[in-house]
Chains A and B, each alone.
Chain A
Amino acid sequence: MTALEIKDLNHYYVKGKNVLNDVNIELEDGEILSILGPSGCGKTTLLRIIAGLEKETSGSILMKDQIISDHFHTVLTENRDVGLVVQERALFPHLTIINNVMFGVSGSKTNRHSTAMRLLKLFRVDRYAYNYPNEISSGEQQRVAIARAMAPNPKILLMDEPFGTLDQSLTNQLRVETRKILKDNNITAIIVSHDFDDALSMSDKVIVIEDGTVIQSGSAKDITHISREKSVKFSSIKANT
Chain B
Amino acid sequence: MRLSFWEITPITLFVIFIAPVALVLYSLTGEYSDNWTHLYEYVLTGYIINTVYLVAGVSILVSIIGVGTAWLITNYNFSGKNIFEWALILPLAVPPYILAYTFTGLFDTFGTANNLIRDVFDLGREFTFFPKFRNVPGAIIVFSFTLYPYVYLVSRMAFINQSRTMLEAGRTLGLNKFETFYKLGVPMIRPAIIGGLMLVIMETISDFGAVDHFAISTFTTGIFRTWYGMYDIETAKQLASLLLIFAVTLILIERYSRRNASYSNAMSLYKPLFLTKLKGIPNTLAFLICFTPIFIGFLLPVMELLYWALNYKLDFFNEKFITTAWNTFYLALMAAFLCSILAVIINFSIRYKSNNYLKVMSSFLTVGYAVPGLILAIGVMQMLTYFDQSFVSEFSNFILTGSIMGLVLAYVIKSYALSSSTIEAGYQRINSRVDDVARTLKTSGWALLAQVHLPLLKTSFLTSMLLVVSEVIKELPATLILRPFNFDTLAVYTYIYAAEERMYDAAAPSIAIVLVGLIPIIILTRMIRTSRPASRD
Contact = CB atoms under 8 A, between A and B. Distances in A.
Interface in A45-94: 48, 51-53, 76-80, 82-84, 86, 88-94
B534 A78 contact: no
A51 B456 CA distance: 24
B28 to A, nearest CB: 38
Nearest to A106: B442
Given A132-B533, A134-B536, A135-B536, A90 B267 contact: yes
A147 to B, nearest CB: 12
Interface in B446-469: 451-452, 455-456
A88 B536 contact: no
Nearest to B536: A132
Interface string B399-441: 0000000000000000000000000000000010110111111
B440 A51 contact: yes
A93 B434 CA distance: 10
Given A135-B536, A135-B537, A88 B436 contact: no
A27 interface: no
Given A88-B268, A93-B270, A134 B440 contact: no
Contact of A90 (B272, B434, B455, B537): B434
Interface string A96-137: 000000011010000000000000000000000000111100
A138 interface: yes
Contacts of A95: 455
A193 interface: no
Given A51-B436, A83-B440, A93 B537 contact: no
A145 B440 CA distance: 12
A19 interface: no
A148 interface: yes
Contact of A78 (B268, B269, B270, B444): B444
B268 A154 contact: no
A165 B433 CA distance: 15
A203 interface: no
Given A51-B436, A134-B536, A93 B442 contact: no
B437 to A, nearest CB: 5
Given A134-B537, A135-B536, A135-B537, A89 B440 contact: no
Contacts of B533: 93-94, 132, 134
A104 B440 CA distance: 8
B431 A90 contact: yes
Interface string A144-155: 010011001010
B271 interface: yes
Interface residues of B, number: 27
A10 interface: no
Contacts of A188: none
A34 interface: no
A134 B431 contact: no
Given A94-B455, A134-B268, A84 B437 contact: yes
A53 B537 contact: no
Nearest to A76: B444
Interface residues of A, number: 37
A145 B266 CA distance: 14
Contact of B440 (A88, A91, A93, A154): A154
Contacts of B438: 92, 103
A88 B444 contact: no
A219 B304 CA distance: 82
Nearest to A133: B268
Given A90-B433, A93-B268, A134 B534 contact: yes
A138 B269 contact: yes
B283 to A, nearest CB: 30
B433 A86 contact: yes
A88 B266 CA distance: 6
Contacts of B271: 134
Interface in B495-537: 533-534, 536-537
Given A86-B433, A134-B270, A93 B439 contact: no
A4 B452 CA distance: 30
Given A134-B534, A135-B536, A141 B268 contact: yes
A77 B439 contact: yes
A90 B231 CA distance: 60
Contacts of A91: 267-268
A143 to B, nearest CB: 12
Given A86-B436, A88-B433, A104 B455 contact: no
A84 B436 contact: yes
B536 A86 contact: no
A53 B439 CA distance: 9
Contacts of B442: 78-79, 104, 106, 152
Given A90-B267, A90-B433, A84 B537 contact: no
Contacts of A138: 268-269
Contacts of B455: 94-95
A135 B272 CA distance: 11
A92 B434 contact: yes
B443 interface: yes
A77 B269 contact: no
A154 B441 CA distance: 9
B274 to A, nearest CB: 14
A77 B456 contact: no
B537 A78 contact: no
Nearest to B268: A89
A95 B436 CA distance: 17
Q: Which of B269, B439, B444, B536 has the most CB of A within 10 A?
A: B439
Contacts of A145: 437
Contacts of B433: 86, 88, 90
Q: Which of B270, B437, B442 has the most CB of A within 10 A?
A: B437
A170 B343 CA distance: 43
Contacts of A158: 440
A83 B533 CA distance: 26
27 contacts: A53-B439, A76-B439, A78-B439, A78-B440, A78-B442, A84-B437, A88-B267, A89-B268, A90-B267, A90-B433, A91-B268, A92-B438, A92-B456, A93-B534, A94-B456, A95-B455, A104-B440, A104-B441, A104-B443, A132-B536, A133-B268, A134-B268, A134-B271, A145-B437, A148-B437, A149-B437, A154-B440
Given A48-B436, A76-B439, A94-B455, 18 more contacts: A52-B439, A76-B444, A78-B441, A78-B444, A83-B441, A84-B436, A86-B437, A88-B266, A88-B267, A88-B268, A89-B268, A90-B268, A93-B270, A104-B443, A132-B534, A133-B267, A145-B437, A152-B442
Interface of A: 48, 51-53, 76-80, 82-84, 86, 88-95, 103-104, 106, 132-135, 138, 141, 145, 148-149, 152, 154, 158, 165
Interface pairs A-B: 6 shortest CB-CB: A104-B441, A84-B440, A90-B433, A94-B455, A77-B439, A89-B268
